[in-house]
Structure 1
Amino acid sequence: MSISARGNLGRRGRAHLLAATVLLGSAGAVALVPQAVQAQTYRFSSVEVNGNQRIDAATILSYAGIARGEPVSAARLNDAYQAISGSGLFETVELSPRGNTLVINVTEYPTINRIAFEGNARIKDDDLASIVRSQSRRVYSPSMAETDAAAIVTAYEQQGRLAASVTPKIIRRSENRVDLVFEIVEGAVVEIERISFVGNRAYSESRLRRALGTKQAGILRRIIRSDTFIADRIEFDKQVLSDFYTSRGFVDFQVLSVAPELTRNRDGYLLTFTIREGQQFRFGRVTTVSDLAEVDADEFQRAANIKPGQVYSPLAVENTIARMERLATRKGLNFIRVEPRVVRNDRDLTLDIEFAVTRGPRMFVERIDIEGNATTLDRVVRHQFRTVEGDPFNPREIREAADRIRALGFFSRSEVTAREGSAPDQMVVNVDVEEQPTGSLAFGLSYSEVNGAGAAISFTESNFLGRGQLLSFRVDTGTDNSTSRFVFAEPAFLGRDVRFGFSAIYAETEGRFNAEYDTRLIEISPSLQFPISESSRLQIRYTVGEGNIRNYTGGPGIIQDDADRGALTYSKIGYTYSYDSRRTGLDPNSGIRLEFSQDYAGLGGDLEYIETTALVGAQTMVWNEEITLRAELEGGVLSMLGNEDSRLLDRYFLNGKIRGFEGNGIGPRQPENRGGAALGGNMYAVARFEAEFPLGLPEEYGITGGLFADVGSVWNLDNPGAVDDDFSLRSSVGVSIFWDTPIGPLRFNFSEAVKKKSYDRTQNFDLTISTRF
């Protein structure tokens, strides 16, 4: 290249200008200075452009900006050169004054024939092609190629490959074309060998490490990407730490510094967070005031769900504000804002909260603009807003809508902003989203205590046809069973916060749990589910189905009687009330879950009964959140109506509900001379207790331990005969290993039955998919 890329004239260009200056100025060499200045002024009656192939000469002249007959100085020629060279279209540029003619010689940049990547294994060619801005059949630009190389390096740095390097090279082809090749040296992954903390007193390093998104390198380093050093993730981790402490009452918490330090071999980082915890504060007095005549402060105070003495949590304050503003909306009070005023009491480490109910600015939602949703319908996004065009503008509601949009899982990126509309009191809400795949097709192997080993194929689409609907189909086959399930759900039925569901099941078993019979079940169930408070929901459903027992090979008895009844249909209506305190998130360390269900069968069909089940579960974290305690109480009653007895297919068996026993291993059982098969029971009650704790292993392994104790029983038959169907407690104790693997959370249970009946069947080990509280 004969022209400097730094904006100065090239060597040849400067030579041409110097020669022209000497020739034109020689006649006045003995004159005064003003005459010398005048000698360096040119006038060109014509301009000659050479070397251009794709770029029109008129375009080049427009960059030069030199008119015919116009006085032109040497500095002006240099400016013309800079303008032509700065266009980025030419590899070389030369300006040569020849008498009254200005000759412009250019060499155009070649056209990119193709773009290739060499040396890449961790990032595919298609992904790299989406990063670079250079394109085939476009003009090659060295500066853009360097920018592309830097972008590729950044992509590798995001994967923890800080030593990656990229060199753009060109291979010249005929007809002024080049192949642009990015030669990539990926380098090794720079992992985080250790994460440590300085200044932590209330929580251990292991607990804080579990809160971070960044993890230490461990045995799964080839799979877990969170153990690689990514500088951008540090800021996220600082915010995570701040949220962790603030939600636990440490209002003065600060991250003083984060020091990443390379190891001696430069193959890993030592990451040190220096923090200042401060003191933990609790809520003091909680009051509500207002200077608005239409606002009853006492009524709004009753909407507050904060109790003095609770550990301070910003989320509790936010939830109270939201409850008060929703109360104002229900009462028809528009433009109401609730402002929390905090008074700090350092002596007793409390924060007094005064909620001031005031009137905010009169602003309205002019419109809601949605962009970027190529597949998802606008109404799916609009449904996440509790306001529509023309409603009073509430910034809190807009933030909550943004959270709901992100929670859909339909978009890889979503931004919700507000700007002034056509008038100062009109606001336009902009929603900018970027869609991501929402469907999955999975093949796999499975294992559980109930179903044994098997294979599964499933298809799931969570945004069916862009309508926000769930469509799922799954087929599971095991050693002695097969189940096909179809599920459809509309989360915004009739445009309301009502979830419509439809499920269909076809299941067959062949000698399941060594039983001497086969079963078949067909069931269809539509349902509606809707919220009735912040923490509770209600589902109502209708179920119709048919089930029968076939191929029984045991002796006469209760099972034979059920098999002789053939296929029986049932039609039932039911409801489930559920309460979950974790929905409000007021206490990050504890939660309560409650479910109560009832079904009445008798709306046609062959069976008539009432079934009632209930479950209460609780979880809390103790010892500075190192140990998690869980407890669950569960029970059910099947009450037959009319003259019919309960069937084997409808009774309870406690499979998976009490550890330490086989499937169908507990409860009433036929005598051995009649096959000894389990009969189940019309009633059951179970209590489960467990503790989960760290084992001292690195957190990135995802392995924790646990202790558990289960106690319960299943009993009662309508016509037991010689069968023992009395209430008799069974119990077991054991240890568990929890392992969070990339294929899912696994749980290994080693158990021992402590109390049992002589005919019960025990099981000392089982591997299941973990379903923690």
Structure 2
Amino acid sequence: MKKATQANARRSAPLNPKGHAAALLLLGLTAVASPALAQTYSFSTVTVEGNQRIETPTILTYLGFARGEAVSAAALNDAAQRIRATGLFETVDVVPQGGTLVIRVTEFPTVNQITFEGNSRVRDAELAAAVRSEPRRVYSPAQAEADTAAITQVYADQGRINATVSPRIIRRADNRVDLVFEIFEGGLTEVERISFVGNRSFGEGRLRRVLETKQAGLLRAIISRDTYISDRVAFDRQVLTDFYQSRGYVDFQVQNVDVGLTRERDAYYITFNVQEGQKFDFGNITVSSEVAGADPAVFQDALKVRTGATYSPDVIERDISRLERLALRQGLNFVRVEPRITRNDRTLTLDVDFALVNGPRIFVERIDIEGNNTTLDRVIRSRFNVVEGDPFNPREIRESAERIRAMGYFANADVNAREGSSPDQVVIDVDVEEGPTGSLSFGGNFSTDNGFGLMAKFNQRNFLGRGQALSFSLQGGEDNRQFSFSFTEPRLLGRDLSFGISTSYNTTDNQNALYDTTSGRFSPRIGFPVSENGRVSLYYAYNYTDITDVTTTSPFIVADEAEGAVATQALGYSYSFDTRRTGLDPTAGVLVRFGQEFGFGDNDSEYIETTAELTAQKLILNEEVTLRATLEGGYLSYGEGQSRITDRYFLNSRTMRGFEPGGIGPRDSNTGDALGGNAYAVARFEAEFPVGLPEEYGISGGVFLDYGSVWDIGRATGGNVDYNDFTPRTIAGVSVFWKTPIGPLRFNFTEPLDVQPNDETKQFDVTISTEF
């Protein structure tokens, strides 16, 4: 501790001053004991001076001898040390005066208040939670030192290992002090390099993408995951283990993690020493039963895992859950599934026998939820498939915990089970910490399709703590204005049944266009699962469209279609099948979407709109290269009436790259304006791969090939429409993917391979990169 200066008279000297009186005591005792320590004392009276809060009898209990007892000088010194060791006194003097022993003490002051100075990165409340010193308690120099270390550790956990903390005391009246922690926060200590030793099957780049900790890179001033945090590295050990084991490396181990500082102490080097082992596949898959009434053949048919597939503990866990749910549906309670694995080192396979056994008869007594200051209890309880009184299944509780975390409402969520009021009862404790779930943003945007614009967006994923999603946005560009609103209740009537309402209103006012449009849509919907991977949504829609400001130079078809506003109603459904929901293969996935809308309304507008999409993704070359393929199409079929330009398909840069909006498809022969089509079909193929730059920059490359067209305006053309038949176009290009703090961006550079003379192409565009 630093001594106080005369210029700052309020600040004390060292935190644990012994005082010059203690030195005088030792000199005095030495003098009394000279020339030998054999001199003894006997006191008929003992007095205590200077104590205010501490009672005299309390101090006397530390002497260790009684009145009239012969004591040596060494014993007196020991008595002084015992009183001093209580931590209640700044100074202690034990002075013999004839037959009287005088004990002079100076009590430690009382802490008046605790404050923090110099902290801007860490809030006072967080620092206060780390210290043990308390106001209105006796000040302890040792505790202040411990608090200093605790505050330093708080900063170290946030990557500021060079932070320094200096405790100071400010003297106040009535033997009180203010305890002040002066903090110099310093800068962040970043992770300069992450490397691996022992990895043979996967490159360092692929493994670094798995970890939560990232290397400091181009955006180090914005990205926080490049800061060294010991707890995060511990989490990365488990993430790395899960990555390897889900790919068949059952013997994988992280042997140790070496963490070192650079010579300048401003960055870390982290090295993961791993042992991969051999890759295993599934061998024979069987089901056996020790439960009366459980037919193994029935349970065998419910398994998804197949012989020859890459071994993964996740696949086994999902099949165990599937079998236990099947047992419940058959009225078999307390059935547990034990995977019994036989290892075949010669063939590098693992035989798995799913054994049905009788589990302990334990029931759920109650579910206690704490920490949800905003989120309602029922929202959290909806993620449990069990209620009070149901049979207890540890696996179901673990899965419920994962579902709670997957909601994204909580910064932390712990779910544990403990014994209840009797041995056959358990209490499930849910402890959550609320996290941010909403955002409000104002700003500008730029689109290569629509130019510059202003926007205001509000989004809340946990509206009023009810688990509901609410969002609305306003956008205004050079040529268009958009408003949208959406509300979703994910658990209608407490079931896995979603209900939502969405509405939108758009207008265009393009000075360079030959007409303007106004459109709106209102649509309530419900959705529910139909299988483990499939989900269906049913909806009603009310659509309103109007074409205005049609000029004499507008295409004749548009002028003919501008017959006033048209309102239509529709009933529709959509079906999605997504293998990523079960993750049977972590290196591949398939997404299928199919839907139809049946419309009816004004002007005999009866139609059926059918849309479909199939997307597949596969990681190859040790998962360094990602291959994607998408087939997408749509068709408008009119029974009565006909489509208008506001109804037809116009391919944008997301649907088919390399073209301006409306850049392909049927065109008016006289004006060259795009008319859209009642049908479209597109095939997209692409590959994404590393380009050799450090992974921390978040930049990768890609190549793509798009093939497709839009056609058929759905009416007689009189020979005044070009490209009304299926006329395919082909576009090739390269992409640059960049993961930025504002979102993943994609830069496309395109080259037309097969286009038509009047097509409007573009060689460059920027879009938000979407994940498959």
The TM-score with structure 1 as length reference comes to: 0.90
Q: CA deviation at 1:62?
A: 5.0
Q: What's 1:190 paired with?
A: 189
Q: What's 2:710 paired with?
A: 714
Match of 2:661 among 663, 666, 669: 663
Paired residue type of 1:115: T
- Equivalent-residue separation in structure 2 for 1:499 and 1:63 (angstroms): 71
Q: What's 2:411 paired with?
A: 412
Residue pair 2:588, 2:617 contacting (<8 A) in 1 also = yes
Trace 1:163-174 onto structure 2 (pairs within 5 A).
163-174=162-173
- Equivalent-residue separation in structure 2 for 1:379 and 1:676 (angstroms): 59
Is the aligned partner of 1:693 residue 2:689?
yes
Is the aligned partner of 1:679 residue 2:678?
no
Q: What's 1:32 paired with?
A: none
| TM-aligned CA distance change 1:504 to 1:131, over 3 Å | farther
| TM-aligned CA distance change 1:491 to 1:16, over 3 Å | farther
Match of 1:527 among 518, 525, 528: 525
Is the aligned partner of 1:625 residue 2:623?
yes
Trace 1:502-513 onto structure 2 (pairs within 5 A).
502-511=501-510
Q: CA deviation at 1:409?
A: 1.8
Trace 1:93-104 onto structure 2 (pairs within 5 A).
93=92
- Equivalent-residue separation in structure 2 for 1:145 and 1:130 (angstroms): 14
Q: CA deviation at 1:159?
A: 3.3
- Equivalent-residue separation in structure 1 for 2:78 and 2:471 (angstroms): 67
Residue pair 2:555, 2:673 contacting (<8 A) in 1 also = no
Q: What's 1:381 paired with?
A: 380
| TM-aligned CA distance change 1:344 to 1:43, over 3 Å | farther
What is the SS of the residue equivalent to 2:668? coil
Q: What's 1:117 paired with?
A: 117
- Equivalent-residue separation in structure 2 for 1:397 and 1:273 (angstroms): 33
The C-alpha deviation readout for 1:107-153, integer Å capped at 9, x for no partner, is: 241433562313x4544556545554556666544333323322332
Residue pair 1:16, 1:97 contacting (<8 A) in 2 also = no
Q: What's 1:105 paired with?
A: 105
- Equivalent-residue separation in structure 2 for 1:212 and 1:316 (angstroms): 22
- Equivalent-residue separation in structure 1 for 2:747 and 2:167 (angstroms): 52
Q: What's 1:577 paired with?
A: 575
- Equivalent-residue separation in structure 2 for 1:4 and 1:253 (angstroms): 52
Residue pair 2:92, 2:103 contacting (<8 A) in 1 also = no
| TM-aligned CA distance change 1:450 to 1:538, over 3 Å | farther
Q: What's 2:308 paired with?
A: 309
| TM-aligned CA distance change 1:43 to 1:374, over 3 Å | farther
- 499-508 vs 359-368, which moves further: 499-508
Q: CA deviation at 1:677?
A: 2.0
Q: CA deviation at 1:224?
A: 2.0
Q: CA deviation at 1:607?
A: 3.0
| TM-aligned CA distance change 1:63 to 1:364, over 3 Å | farther
Q: CA deviation at 1:563?
A: 1.6
Residue pair 1:2, 1:93 contacting (<8 A) in 2 also = no
| TM-aligned CA distance change 1:213 to 1:100, over 3 Å | same
The C-alpha deviation readout for 1:155-191, integer Å capped at 9, x for no partner, is: 3223333222211122334454444333333344333
Q: CA deviation at 1:332?
A: 1.3
What is the SS of the residue equivalent to 1:227? coil
The C-alpha deviation readout for 1:508-555, integer Å capped at 9, x for no partner, is: 11129x532221122211111111222111111111131211112233
- Segments of structure 1 that go 5 or more residues without pairing to the other structure are 30-35
Alignment RMSD? 3.1
What is the SS of the residue equivalent to 1:455? strand
What is the SS of the residue equivalent to 1:475? strand
Residue pair 2:62, 2:83 contacting (<8 A) in 1 also = no
Q: What's 2:548 paired with?
A: 550
Q: CA deviation at 1:771?
A: 1.1
- Equivalent-residue separation in structure 2 for 1:63 and 1:471 (angstroms): 67
| TM-aligned CA distance change 1:717 to 1:183, over 3 Å | same
Match of 1:702 among 698, 702, 707: 698
Q: How many residues align?
A: 747
- Equivalent-residue separation in structure 2 for 1:491 and 1:693 (angstroms): 37
Residue pair 1:63, 1:83 contacting (<8 A) in 2 also = no
What is the SS of the residue equivalent to 2:294? coil
- Equivalent-residue separation in structure 2 for 1:87 and 1:574 (angstroms): 80
Match of 2:597 among 596, 599, 608: 599
- Equivalent-residue separation in structure 1 for 2:194 and 2:126 (angstroms): 31
Residue pair 2:515, 2:554 contacting (<8 A) in 1 also = no
- Equivalent-residue separation in structure 2 for 1:177 and 1:524 (angstroms): 68
- Equivalent-residue separation in structure 2 for 1:127 and 1:481 (angstroms): 47
Is the aligned partner of 1:341 residue 2:354?
no
Is the aligned partner of 1:216 residue 2:215?
yes
- Equivalent-residue separation in structure 2 for 1:63 and 1:366 (angstroms): 53
Q: What's 2:273 paired with?
A: 274
| TM-aligned CA distance change 1:669 to 1:133, over 3 Å | farther
Q: What's 1:232 paired with?
A: 231
Paired residue type of 1:632: T
Is the aligned partner of 1:638 residue 2:624?
no
Q: What's 1:438 paired with?
A: 437
Q: What's 2:289 paired with?
A: 290
- Equivalent-residue separation in structure 2 for 1:138 and 1:548 (angstroms): 76
Is the aligned partner of 1:150 residue 2:186?
no
The C-alpha deviation readout for 1:356-397, integer Å capped at 9, x for no partner, is: 011100000000111111221111111111000000000001
- Equivalent-residue separation in structure 2 for 1:384 and 1:79 (angstroms): 64
Residue pair 1:199, 1:277 contacting (<8 A) in 2 also = yes
- Equivalent-residue separation in structure 2 for 1:409 and 1:757 (angstroms): 48
Is the aligned partner of 1:650 residue 2:642?
no
What is the SS of the residue equivalent to 2:721? coil
The TM-score with structure 2 as length reference comes to: 0.90
Residue pair 1:634, 1:687 contacting (<8 A) in 2 also = yes
Q: What's 2:5 paired with?
A: none
Residue pair 2:94, 2:101 contacting (<8 A) in 1 also = no
Residue pair 2:665, 2:677 contacting (<8 A) in 1 also = yes
Match of 1:612 among 597, 610, 634: 610
Q: CA deviation at 1:231?
A: 3.0
Q: What's 2:50 paired with?
A: 50
Paired residue type of 1:648: I
Q: What's 1:480 paired with?
A: 479
- 277-286 vs 73-82, which moves further: 73-82
The C-alpha deviation readout for 1:80-111, integer Å capped at 9, x for no partner, is: 87787666554445566776787563324143
Q: CA deviation at 1:351?
A: 0.4
- Equivalent-residue separation in structure 1 for 2:749 and 2:199 (angstroms): 36
Q: What's 2:8 paired with?
A: none
What is the SS of the residue equivalent to 2:756? coil
Q: What's 2:369 paired with?
A: 370
- 174-183 vs 716-725, which moves further: 174-183
What is the SS of the residue equivalent to 1:641? strand
Is the aligned partner of 1:759 residue 2:752?
no
What is the SS of the residue equivalent to 1:171? strand
Q: What's 1:454 paired with?
A: 453
Identity, in percent, stands at 52
Residue pair 1:449, 1:663 contacting (<8 A) in 2 also = no
Q: What's 2:6 paired with?
A: none
| TM-aligned CA distance change 1:80 to 1:463, over 3 Å | farther
Paired residue type of 2:649: Y
The C-alpha deviation readout for 1:223-277, integer Å capped at 9, x for no partner, is: 2222233333322222222111111101111222222333344443332222211
Q: CA deviation at 1:635?
A: 0.7
| TM-aligned CA distance change 1:122 to 1:428, over 3 Å | closer
- 330-339 vs 237-246, which moves further: 237-246
Paired residue type of 2:738: W
| TM-aligned CA distance change 1:504 to 1:12, over 3 Å | farther
What is the SS of the residue equivalent to 2:142? helix
Q: CA deviation at 1:499?
A: 1.4
